[in-house]
Chain A
Amino acid sequence: MPAKLVVDRLSHHYPDEYTGEDVHALDQVSLSVEDGEFSAVVGPSGCGKTTLLNILAGLLPHTEGSVQVDGREVQGPGPDRGVVFQEHAILPWRTVARNIGHGLEIQRLPRREREQKVQEFIDLVGLSGFEERYPHELSGGMKQRCALARTLCANPVVMLMDEPFAAVDAQTRITLQEELNRIAIATRKTILFITHNVDEAAFLGDRCFIFSRRPGKLKATVKINVPREQRIWKDLLSEKAYTDPRDEILRLVREEVFDDEE
């Protein structure tokens, strides 16, 4: 079976209207993610992670290289690829319930089925009791859960997540990471998860892609062989199957950062 998500020699340049100098964001990136695999992407700030995600989502057209989802070349955004954005992207003018059901509304699912599904995901991410609240009444972590539930509820084939937990406090982040792991077990979704945080990448990923500084190149790939069911923070911290790949990722990321200072 071919991989769910295939990126082949993808490069990207942003034109600059003012200086005339292009920004070279991605350079010959090739990677693939298998069906049901959880892949993490780490790399220094500005190395092109969000650019990669936008291209995969179809929000940014690509000109060099190819990007395929389920064997089809990406040509624009579509409901097969759900995105959790780096910024808060839930709509302020919709209640939590209406935000979470938005994808199903667009898919024209009958109201009754939709409400049932929405309730299911509200419970899953622990937002019960906040159905009729508006996003400005939620905490940062709750907003991010709402965004996560919205993407999950639309039932995409592939989930693309851009540092979804970066803006929440450490305690909430740990909870959300364990929740996301549970969800990954339950739904068996193919996930591409971007993060700055090495611990997070090793905790969540089956495989971790490490990017170099800009222009972003795929520098290395590290596998993490911990069964999903065993991924609970308090048990994992001293587990060699977790700490070894984590230290390896850390070393690779560090190289990039120290290169920067020379």
Chain B
Amino acid sequence: MSVLQTASIGLQKRFGRQRLRKILLGSIPFVVLLVMWQMNTAMEWLPPVYIPPIASIWEAIYTLSEGCADAGAVLSMQYECLFTNHILSSLGRVGLSLVIGIPSGIALGVLAGMSRRFAHALEPVGVFANAISGIAWVPLAIVWFGTGWLTTLFILLNTVFWLIFFNTLLGVRGVPRVYENSVMTMGGGRWAIISQVYIPGALPSIVTGVRMSMGFGWRALIAAEMIGGDSGLGFMIFVSAAEYKIEEVFLGVLVIAIMWMITDRLLLIPLEKWTIQRWGMVWRPD
């Protein structure tokens, strides 16, 4: 047996045939793109001002981190560590908006889902706010908070909160009444019903809300950073473009996409798998 065959069988055993096939198929478009990109550099179809060579993007990381001493410097966000600073400040805002937005969105969503009065009070303003959520707020936010992290956080929270709120609300309303009744006949009070019926019952919808808010949130964040930020990946792209550092623009875009894929694959999909799929609450095609 050749080395290649042995390696292939080893991989199949490790990941499983189906999954391996899925990964391979999914990576084909990326490989094609990379090959085309590299060929462009070699054949000089389009000049590097438009499409920089792959290697220069790699170099941009070094340029942007010049003077950055070590991991300690990265974590303490010293001024020299430009590249990681931009990533960390974008990530930090996403994290902060989730830490604030998820609990408050769920809390108010549950309240509105279980109480007609709350729903009547909150739904119209929610629809109103949702209509202008995203980057439409940016000019106003700049007037209110100036350029900087408060503006971008505001934009992000505005997206995250309302999506989670509405998804929780709909999720709670969709929980079959009989579950609530059965807990009540066992002597369960309001809190038992909220924590043992409404929240787990609404979880499929809440997870959808979190996924949506991450997707929309990322986009809104990048846009907000471009216009109203003073750090972050969106800001980096914008400044680099203005200075014609095309490789830094490419780098920023790539990092955004990769970070989104990592959160989706490593965080959100496993979360779904261990909760709502385990409980048999989602429809699975295979």
Contacts and interface: CB of A to CB of B under 8 A. Distances in A.
B186 A136 contact: no
B181 A136 contact: no
A153 to B, nearest CB: 10
A150 B192 CA distance: 16
Nearest to A137: B280
A106 B186 contact: yes
Interface string A135-164: 111000000000000100010000000000
A83 interface: yes
A136 to B, nearest CB: 3
Contacts of B275: 93
B115 interface: no
B203 A93 contact: yes
B58 interface: no
Contact of B184 (A59, A91, A136): A59
B181 A77 contact: yes
A83 B183 CA distance: 10
Interface residues on A, range: 20 to 34
Contacts of A102: 183, 186, 196
A89 B179 contact: yes
Interface string B183-227: 111111000100011001101000000000000000000000000
B187 A103 contact: yes
B178 interface: yes
Interface string A88-122: 01111100000000110011000000000000000
Given A78-B187, A93-B200, A103-B187, A83 B279 contact: no
Nearest to B189: A106
A87 B178 contact: yes
A91 B185 contact: no
Interface residues on B, range: 20 to 34
Contacts of A81: 185
A82 interface: yes
A134 interface: yes
Nearest to A90: B182
A92 B192 contact: no
A83 B187 contact: no
A215 interface: no
Given A85-B178, A91-B200, A93-B203, A106 B183 contact: yes
A57 interface: yes
Contacts of A59: 181, 184-185
A150 B186 CA distance: 9
B279 A82 contact: no
* Centre residue among B185, B186, B187, B197 by max chain A CB count within 10 A: B185
A82 B184 CA distance: 10
Contact of A92 (B181, B184, B185, B280): B280
A93 B203 CA distance: 10
Contacts of B278: 134
A172 B202 CA distance: 33
A102 B188 CA distance: 9
Contacts of A107: 187
Query: Which 10 pairs, one residue from A and one from B, show the smallest C-beta to C-beta distance?
Result: A136-B280, A79-B187, A93-B200, A103-B186, A77-B184, A89-B182, A89-B178, A83-B185, A93-B279, A77-B185
8 contacts: A78-B185, A79-B185, A87-B176, A91-B179, A93-B275, A103-B186, A106-B183, A137-B280
